[in-house]
Amino acid sequence: MQSTIAPIQQLQNWLGNGLRPTLIAGPCSAETEEQVHATVKALAASGKVSMIRAGIWKPRTRPNSFEGVGEKGLTWLKDAGIATNLPVMTEVANAHHVELALKAGMDALWIGARTSVNPFTVQEIADALKGLDIPIFVKNPVNPDLQLWIGAIERFMNAGINRIAAIHRGFSYHGESVYRNEPMWEIPIRLRTIMPDLPVFCDPSHICGKRDLLALVSQRAMDMGMDGLMIETHPNPDKAWSDAAQQITPETLLTLINSLAIRQENISSAEIRDGLSELRTRIDLLDAQILDLISARMGIAREIGQYKKENGITILQLERWMEIVKTRGFRADKLGLSDDFIRNYLEQLHKESILHQTRVMNASKGDDGVMW
């Protein structure tokens, strides 16, 4: 029995409000009964929060750090939810967690980034949930693998879960970055194009890793058309037992939410549509010219391939490639194009050019250039 994904309206109806963003807030971890109650009470008072989160079992990178209070925290969380009339959710990472979370009356569950990477574990959790009607929020896997994220979502659909949402929490990255986890917005955007009915939340807390970036990333998530936000909150963030640097007080959260510009993805007025359509026509024209130019460039690349073949010269000419990167980089910089963009663009262009040259030079050896 495979489910269809509930659109955000259905999730919102369940949550009983039409707030945008749909806001999930609460501490990274439940620490003490007082901390859970104080956080939930303050969040409820803001009137902006649709659901409470708290981690009970914490997947920590290194051992010997706080790994969650365990089962007793479920009771604190559920009681705080009942006291404020808010649904509560926690992270489950195996079938035993599911059993305890359901027994304690959790209203929704989320699948953490370290769990989404593992199809065995996701399947174990999906099997434990078979036939149950509980909303499941699936975080992206730690590595930037869209198929793995979709696969995890599909495992819950296959188990008959009707209310599923995705949570974008960023991706591990080896380079230097201002973020704790790179947002790589193109990945949730691609997810939205593949599953347009799937509600998508953003978790700015785990993307940023520090609180001063939260407002910026939350605004970006809203401008990417995301449905909701999950933000970690703590009455005394600096003293939090986990993820202290990224947590904010319920009061700061309210200021953040009130500062967001909420723009519409659907264009309602004919006048705005016309204005946009005039600008889009100009973009369409330029895109057509850009593609014609790239195609012409590939034509020359094929001629070069023929020439290199006849003269026994390698496809990659490192010196020429370095010169291209340098000169185009200078020009792009003057034109106000970002470094990152021009590097990615040139690499893709070079890759396509090599593919065309490979076909010319090595077709007789059975290489069609596709295996690059």
* Distance between start and end Cα atoms, the chain: 40
Backbone angles phi, psi at 282, to 5 degrees: -65, -40
Cα(99)–Cα(105) distance, integer angstroms:
10
Instruction: Output DSSP code: residue 130.
Output: T
Cβ neighbours of residue 350 closer than 8 Å, sequence gap 6 or more = 321, 324
The residue (of 163 and 206) whose beta carbon lies closer to ligand PEP is 206
Cα angle for residues 75, 15, 109 (degrees, 5° grid): 45
Is residue 139 a contact residue for ligand PEP (CB under 6 A)?
Answer: yes
CB of residue 57 vs ligand PEP: minimum separation in angstroms?
10
CB of residue 110 vs Mn ion: minimum separation in angstroms?
11
The residue (of 59 and 119) whose beta carbon lies closer to ligand PEP is 59
Cα(21)–Cα(110) distance, integer angstroms:
18
The residue (of 90 and 358) whose beta carbon lies closer to ligand PEP is 90
Per rule CB under 5 A, count of chain residues that contact Mn ion:
2
Is residue 107 a contact residue for Mn ion (CB under 5 A)?
Answer: no
Cα angle for residues 264, 267, 268 (degrees, 5° grid): 105
How far are the Cα atoms of 207, 225, 368 from residue 217, in angstroms, in the given order? Answer: 8, 13, 42
Cα(122)–Cα(105) distance, integer angstroms:
21
The residue (of 28 and 109) whose beta carbon lies closer to ligand PEP is 28
Is residue 243 a contact residue for Mn ion (CB under 5 A)?
Answer: yes
Measured from each CB, the residue nearest to ligand PEP is 112
Cα angle for residues 81, 251, 255 (degrees, 5° grid): 120
Segment 8-47, which members bind Mn ion (CB under 5 A)? 28
Is residue 228 a contact residue for ligand PEP (CB under 6 A)?
Answer: no
CB of residue 156 vs Mn ion: minimum separation in angstroms?
22
| 169 binding partner (options Mn ion, ligand PEP, none; Cβ < 5 to 8 Å by kind) | ligand PEP
Is residue 206 a contact residue for ligand PEP (CB under 6 A)?
Answer: yes
Q: Which of 113, 129, 164, 200 binds ligand PEP (CB under 6 A)?
A: 113
Is residue 55 a contact residue for ligand PEP (CB under 6 A)?
Answer: yes
The residue (of 59 and 275) whose beta carbon lies closer to ligand PEP is 59
| Exposed e or buried b per residue across 168-177, where buried means at least 16 C-beta atoms within 10 angstroms of its C-beta | bbbbebeeee
The residue (of 107 and 243) whose beta carbon lies closer to Mn ion is 243
Binding residues vs ligand PEP (CB under 6 A): 28, 55, 59, 112-114, 139, 169, 206
